[in-house]
Amino acid sequence: VLHIRTVRPYITYGLIAVNVIIFMFGFFDPSREIQMFLSGANNRDLVLLDGELYRLFSSMFLHASLPHVVFNMFSLYIIGSNLEAIYGHVRFTIIYLLGGLTGALLSTLLSDVYSVGASGAVFAVFGGQIVFLYRHRKLLGRAGQAQMRQMILIAAMNFAVGLASSLSPQRVSIDNWAHIGGFVGGLILASYIGSHYLLERYHTGAANEFMAVDINP
């Protein structure tokens, strides 16, 4: 029996609420929605030439459509709640926000489109989860290794969908650079600040019970 200390994923729930509230604020007023997009979307010229650096952050909380926000928030709920429970509130928040900013920055440097969405931050959480599963692949056994393969497959499928959208003639496409930047940012951040467990005997003294102790400060 392996015991792992976890926390309630309040930050994940809060981020979902904030994203949904901001989306709904413009959903029922098209003129307000357009104004929010124009004043908050990420764009190379506006960020690098006009110095509107805040767009790297504000774009993470704007979404282009109802399916866009629903898909991102569902992904955040599934993956984020699990990662925050293990990593704790502070480390999860750092990975989400800094990973999201990494995605926004890479999008700014390598793309000239207007970009919005929490996808970069969600992909950072993807990366953080993969690091956790890989680092503890022996500790978690076959179930953990199977989950890691599943996470890698899901991430690869999302990248493939994004690539396909960029090749289509439609006006709106997926920002692949934000996904890649967020994913790599999540991998790097989690490698440094993520949980690193060692086993100790559980306090009951039972021979078959262990506590996973995080040795990463």
pLDDT digits (tens, 9 = 90+) for 115-163: 999 999 999 999 999 999 999 888 888 888 888 888 788 777 777 766 6
Q: Which of 59, 81, 179, 195 is catalytic?
A: 179
Task: Based on the residue annotation, tell me whether 136 is a catalytic residue of this protein.
Answer: no
pLDDT at 171: 52
Neighbours of 124 (CB within 10 A): 34
What are the angstrom distances between the C-alpha of 8 and each of 51, 124, 144, 178? Answer: 38, 20, 21, 28
Write down the mean pLDDT value for the chain: 88
Residue 165 scores a pLDDT above 70: no
- The distance in angstroms from the start CA to the end CA of the chain is 25
The amino acid sitting at 137 is: R
State the DSSP H helix or E strand holding residue 210, giving kind and residue range, or none if neither: strand 210-214
pLDDT at 113: 84
Least confident stretch, 30-39, 91-100, 141-150, 180-189? 141-150
| Mean pLDDT to the nearest integer, 49-75 | 92
Q: Of 147, 141, 151, whose CA–CA distance to 210 is shortest? A: 141
Q: Which of 68, 119, 136, 195 is catalytic?
A: 119
| Mean pLDDT to the nearest integer, 19-37 | 91
| pLDDT above 90: percentage of residues in the chain | 56
Q: Of 47, 39, 182, whose CA–CA distance to 124 is shortest? A: 182
Task: Based on the residue annotation, tell me whether 119 is a catalytic residue of this protein.
Answer: yes
Higher-pLDDT residue of 145 and 33 is: 33
| pLDDT above 70: percentage of residues in the chain | 93
Residue 174 scores a pLDDT above 80: no
8 A C-beta contact, residue 76 and residue 125: yes
Residue 169 scores a pLDDT above 60: no
Tokens of 179: 């996904």
Helix (H, G, I), strand (E, B) or coil at 200: strand
Expressed in percent and rounded to 5, the helix, strand and coil fractions of the chain are 70, 5, 25
User: From CA 59, how far away is CA 100, in angstroms rounded?
Assistant: 10
